[in-house]
Amino acid sequence: MSKNALIVDDSATMREMVSYTLKQAGFEPLTGKNGQEGLDQLAGAQVDLIITDLNMPVMDGLTFIKAVRAKDEYKSTPILMLTTESRADMKAQGKAAGATGWLVKPFNPEMLLQVIAKVVPKT
Amino acid sequence: MATGQAGDASLVAPAAADRNGPRQDDVVTPPDVRDRLNQLRDSVHSTLHHEFGTLAGDLDQLRGILSDAAAKLSEAFCHMTVGSTALLRLLDGAPDRSEANSLKDAASIARDISSRTVMTVQSLQFEDMATQLLQHVDRRLAMLEVFSKEMAVLRPDPAGRMVPLTEEALEDLFRLLERHRADLASVGRKSVQQQSMDSGVVELF
């Protein structure tokens, strides 16, 4: 049975590129254009991995991660922040919010898959 | 930093005064107010100079990202096209090759195409960064438009006369200038610092 991954990014190209990459690793991608749409997706499906952007309209990535971590079933789900932002203070905020890792755009698909292999438990 | 030359900010421009001679409604400006007005014009000029320099830098960064993405995508496209053509020829069956050799070559070409796909996926992300940079430039330009409108009072009228300004009005303009500078400084930080489409760093917590 394939695993579900939620990709939250306001850029259609980014959603497309991450989805394409995750499909190579056998994930079934779900997508949202902002944090609120991400939360809506979580309400209807069990997700094994979340990849989210930081700067988004409606609900940003940090608020989204905090909302996800507030849910009992997502306390330990890997959440990767994928963003153009590389400042140390922003990374610290991401870590405090509950992110598992921080990837600076643009991502290398092979590297992303290596990171996912490290953070997603094998079943 | 270049500050430009505001020149003499007397309330009647010299050209107009020479042409028309002194008039009853000419406003005489005390020297200290005139100095402050010159200072204000210098500061406005310096702020605009700095801001347009920053915008030019942002656009140059955008040009670099687009140029790098285009170069990498072109390279990937050429390799993948050549590879696909070679693969098709192999699959069609070359009569002078053994089946084993053909399969080996086909696998090698497929691996090359696959590695170019990685470069393509990475380079196609330029759209996201370009969009963010352009949004940043848009925000800055919108603020500069408001700034230049509010400072339009410093421009002489068509007859070359400066609008009379009281000391109080002048101080208001200085406060306005400071507010705009603070606003521009707060919008100044942009999240996109990348100069090319090379992959970013990864950090696991």
Q: B121-172, pLDDT tens digit by residue? A: 888 888 888 888 888 888 888 888 888 888 877 777 777 677 777 778 888 8
Contact state of B132 with A107 under an 8 Å Cβ cutoff = no
Residue B39 near chain A (CB below 8 Å): no
- Measured CA to CA in angstroms, residue B182 lies from B33, B146, B169, B186 at distances of 24, 14, 20, 6
Tokens of B3: 């500050």
Domain containing residue A12:
3-119
Name every residue whose Cβ is closer than 8 Å to that of residue B9 and which is 6 or more positions away in sequence: B29, B34, B37, B38, B41, B162
Say which residue the tokens 């521009």 belong to.
B184
Q: Is B114 on the interface with A (CB under 8 A)?
A: no
Pair A34, A57: CB distance under 8 Å: yes
Contact list, B203 vs chain A (CB under 8 Å): 91, 101-103
Task: Write the DSSP symbol of residue A72.
Answer: G
- The chain A residue lying nearest B191, using CA atoms, is A85
Number of domains observed in the structure of chain A: 1
Contact A36, A59 (CB under 8 A): yes
Tell me the pLDDT tens digit for each residue of B40-88.
Answer: 888 888 888 888 888 888 888 888 888 788 878 877 777 777 777 777 7
Domain harbouring A49, CATH code: 3.40.50.2300
Q: What is the ipTM of this complex?
A: 0.82
